[in-house]
Structure 1
């Protein structure tokens, strides 16, 4: 989603600098007119506002500490943390645990810079048009200082609280429900197909009936070959629903439906659809239901 955010900023008149660990993505960025940097530190030397939009907590720490310092928490050459100061504003948009989000933001604040915990939802297509959802947590003054830029990125901004980590909490609750809806929709659609119903007709019916959900409406057309492209890779939502389950466990709670969703999403990854659109969970169910005498085992 990061490249789409960069394109949105460029289209709105901003000069965009990028850093990516994927050389192919950097080459793409260069072809789009972005200034490509070899390290996060190099980027920070030219930019006062930095958006961190990476896959997971490990990559967030790599940005902060550098590739050689992420495991030891000792900044290495090229790291962001040692070079930022009061002139910098850092927006963390990655989906990580509340603890990781809070940890990263407090590290930035200790450098006298501004930080926001601001995960996003909506996928690359909506990011490119400024229509992603943003869940913002951090001091009110920090939120206000970045309000104009945030409105460029999103027309659906939710100011959750002033407590770092609450942006992550809200995002994980949302993605928990997204995974449950996706898995439930895939299961129902695969059952309908097994019963001999036409999947496209069934989807059209459900979309106008009580069984519909946002995830069903936006993912199943791709699963059925009615639309193309990848909105979100399967392993990304799998990671998020696992984080949501862990977040609940830390509160002494178990999530029966969340556990099933995590299990089915991981099973889809394990069957070879890790990098595919997350609607591939439908294909996992289709394969299961086509197996003679298939039995469904609930996760323990």
Structure 2
């Protein structure tokens, strides 16, 4: 493919699809750093937020793709990414010099397949999943795990650095970024499920969960997930920053990767069952800190409300 020179950051045109709680903040940071952002989301209420932040609303995914240098996809899963690129025509609408940047958490094998189809149309592709949640998206403090050839990474780097302060080029092959994110989610899911188990065990013994969480958060037992989710575990209806069903999906991706690579993932399997238990009760859209409810159910604990 013919190499293209990189425009200055002020003239780079960004198409952004997926303006949810994280995507809207990522688009805001791009606007704040001088990029021209045109966005689209199936939720019409995303329009006001994008325009307030300096972006332009598009009427369709084809409209977003038709005049951008980089098309960023911050969608829920690989099905949505494929729908946008192939069924809804975004890939065909892209300028020949444009780059697709897939930032969703997807199975590595599926990312490889999408990258092959994008390359067959003569466009560049960056596999660039993120970690850091809504807080990281808001502060431009995301960790971004990018996999693509070195030339494409050089073109995309300033775009990625507008959204994350920890941008890593993890490999030259699409799918490698997705696999790093998969491993990240393995640890996040296991850490969170283990934190829920610890809190529920303490509650069963009559220990104030706030005191327990405060102690554990400052001890060698601490984890980022415990520090971030601990306080929400003991709230009755915490604000949703990441839903239970996200970990059902992400840990499913971990298990699939393990099968494909013939690598055992027993802890991830058990953790997924705890998230699935809460989802199976009809609560898949509540905050993922409420994985603790699965343990409470098993120990007949009715806790979770403010004492």
TM-score by length of 1: 0.88
Residue 34 of structure 1: CA displacement? 2.8
Q: Which runs of no fewer than 5 residues in structure 2 stay unpaired? A: 1-21, 303-307
Q: Quick one: which of 67, 89, 93 aligns to 1:83?
A: 93
Residue 52 of structure 1: CA displacement? 0.6
Deviations 1:198-225 (A, max 9, x none): 1111111111212111111111111123
Q: Which residue in 1 is equivalent to 2:80? A: 59
Residue 95 of structure 1: CA displacement? 0.5
TM-align CA RMSD: 1.9
Residue 262 of structure 1: CA displacement? 1.0
8 Å CA contact 1:135–1:160 kept in 2: the answer is yes
Residue 278 of structure 1: CA displacement? 0.6
State whether structure 2 residue 29 is matched by structure 1 residue 8.
Answer: yes
Q: Which residue in 1 is equivalent to 2:165? A: 155
State whether structure 2 residue 102 is matched by structure 1 residue 102.
Answer: no
For residues 170 and 32 of structure 2, the distance between their equivalents in structure 1, rounded to whole angstroms, comes to: 28
State whether structure 2 residue 207 is matched by structure 1 residue 197.
Answer: yes
Q: Which residue in 1 is equivalent to 2:227? A: 217
For residues 291 and 194 of structure 1, the distance between their equivalents in structure 2, rounded to whole angstroms, comes to: 7
For residues 41 and 248 of structure 1, the distance between their equivalents in structure 2, rounded to whole angstroms, comes to: 36
For residues 34 and 272 of structure 1, the distance between their equivalents in structure 2, rounded to whole angstroms, comes to: 36
Specify the SS of the correspondent of 1:260: helix
For residues 106 and 143 of structure 1, the distance between their equivalents in structure 2, rounded to whole angstroms, comes to: 17
Residue 231 of structure 1: CA displacement? 2.3
Residue 159 of structure 1: CA displacement? 1.3
Specify the SS of the correspondent of 1:157: strand
Farther-moved stretch of structure 1 (225-234 vs 117-126): 225-234
Q: Which residue in 1 is equivalent to 2:10? A: none
Aligned residue pair count: 281
For residues 233 and 283 of structure 2, the distance between their equivalents in structure 1, rounded to whole angstroms, comes to: 12
8 Å CA contact 1:125–1:231 kept in 2: the answer is no
Q: Which runs of no fewer than 5 residues in structure 1 stay unpaired? A: 67-77, 293-300
8 Å CA contact 1:84–1:111 kept in 2: the answer is no
State whether structure 2 residue 232 is matched by structure 1 residue 232.
Answer: no
Query: Structure 1: which 4+ aligned runs deviate by more than 4 Å?
Result: 30-33
State whether structure 2 residue 278 is matched by structure 1 residue 278.
Answer: no
State whether structure 2 residue 151 is matched by structure 1 residue 141.
Answer: yes
Q: Which residue in 2 is equivalent to 1:130? A: 140
Residue 113 of structure 1: CA displacement? 1.7
Residue 110 of structure 1: CA displacement? 1.9
For residues 291 and 93 of structure 2, the distance between their equivalents in structure 1, rounded to whole angstroms, comes to: 43
TM-score by length of 2: 0.86
